[in-house]
Structure 1
Amino acid sequence: MTLLILGILLWVAGHFFKRALPGLHDSLGPAAKGVSAVVILAGVVLMVIGYRGAYTDLAFVPPSWGIHLNNLLMLLAVYLYAASGTKARLATRMRHPQLTAVKTWAVAHLLVNGDWASVVLFGSLLAWAVAEVIVINRSNRDWTPPEWGGRTAEIRALAGTAIVFAVIAGIHAWLGYWPFPG
């Protein structure tokens, strides 16, 4: 569990670096993005290793219907993330589609994973995404919605969602976590 928690802390530190230490961030110039990326990547690696190695008791028994809602929420999460990159209509109507995707992803995974390692991982990333939205909104109150990318953006977002969802499901199956009922 120690590696998992360290990974979460690195993830949060890498994402808040610019706002928590603006002087240091600015003094690094263009290298600041690289430093943040390395810290975040190290956090992801430690989270994966820590999560896979953590054996913990159940915090709660997930509901039997949770897997169905999980898959529906995961489709939504992947779509939100894809829509933000393509400027699909939904992404032009919400300020933080990627962070909303992370929050949706975290809630979806809490529905199907009742062990303490999952509660720590997904609960922490949910809390981070909520905090990130609050910090961004407070530091930059003005928001101009991006222009809609047209029908092409919608098609790309839907195609990207289908491909990425299939890849995610394949990776889960490869790791031994069958993501579908039955």
Structure 2
Amino acid sequence: MSYVLLILGLALWVLGHMFKRIAPERRARMGDGGKGLFAAFILGGVVLMVIGYRGTDMIKVWYAPAFLVHVNNLLMLLAIFVFGMSATTGRLRGVMRHPQLTAVKIWAVAHLLVNGDLASIILFGGLLLWAVAEVIVINRSEDWVRPARGEPKGDVKLVIITLVAFAAIAAIHAWLGVWPFPR
């Protein structure tokens, strides 16, 4: 049953995020009330993914070598940094078109490197596929206007925020019983 919840959660996440791209006229007819509905889909998807993932039996598909933990942590630093580029006021603003979706792709690959169980492959692989598809759909449907570059001090803030966020995420993983560093 847990795998069903995991997959259903992924489906709600994808539907909640892609509906306005797949059916823009229908989404427009829903007006502002549709925002709440799709926010509920996304939140429900997250809840189902967490419950499903945590409830699955451990079915190992591969065993990751220990050195990949280092690669994972470096990729996670990069993912947090790239995600933050979407909100930076620094020189890096507008360097890439889809920093948040790119960060999700980096995050998913990092987690696939160190988690070789079936539930992880479904969760992180599914979110990786969604992020790739979302970028393709957006690129085909919308033109992009590159934002103006900001001041270098915004990039310094981004580095500091990245390091603090990484420490917080590592602490949360440790609190949940998943030690994110090599032993």
Sort the TM-score into its range (normalised by shorter chain): over 0.9
Q: Distance in 2 between matches of 1:152 and 1:55?
A: 47
Determine whether 1:174 maps to 2:175.
Answer: yes
Aligned to 2:158: 157
CA contact (8 A) 2:92 2:150 kept: no
Q: Distance in 1 between matches of 2:25 and 2:38?
A: 14
Matches within 5 A, 1:1-182: 1-140=3-142, 142-182=143-183
Displacement, 1:91?
Answer: 4.1
Displacement, 1:3?
Answer: 0.7
Q: Distance in 2 between matches of 1:178 and 1:87?
A: 33
Letter matched to residue 150 of structure 1: E
Letter matched to residue 17 of structure 1: F
- Structure 2 unaligned segments of length 5 or more: list them: none
Q: Distance in 2 between matches of 1:36 and 1:88?
A: 32
CA contact (8 A) 2:173 2:179 kept: yes
SS in 2 for 1:61: coil
SS in 2 for 1:131: helix
SS in 1 for 2:69: helix
Deviations 1:43-73 (A, max 9, x none): 0111111111111311111122110000000
Of stretches 161-170 and 108-117 in structure 1, the one that deviates more from structure 2 is 161-170
After superposing on structure 2, the runs of 4+ consecutive aligned residues of structure 1 that deviate more than 3 Å are 87-91
With normalisation by structure 1, the TM-score equals 0.95
Letter matched to residue 123 of structure 1: G
Q: Distance in 1 between matches of 2:58 and 2:9?
A: 17
- Structure 1 unaligned segments of length 5 or more: list them: none
CA contact (8 A) 2:59 2:118 kept: yes
Deviations 1:96-154 (A, max 9, x none): 111000000000000110000000000000000000000000111x2221112212321
Q: How many residues align?
A: 181
User: Which has more helix, going by share of residues?
Assistant: 1
SS in 1 for 2:58: coil
CA contact (8 A) 2:92 2:155 kept: no
Closer, same or farther: CA 125–46 of 1 in aligned 2, 3 Å: same
Cα-Cα RMSD: 1.2
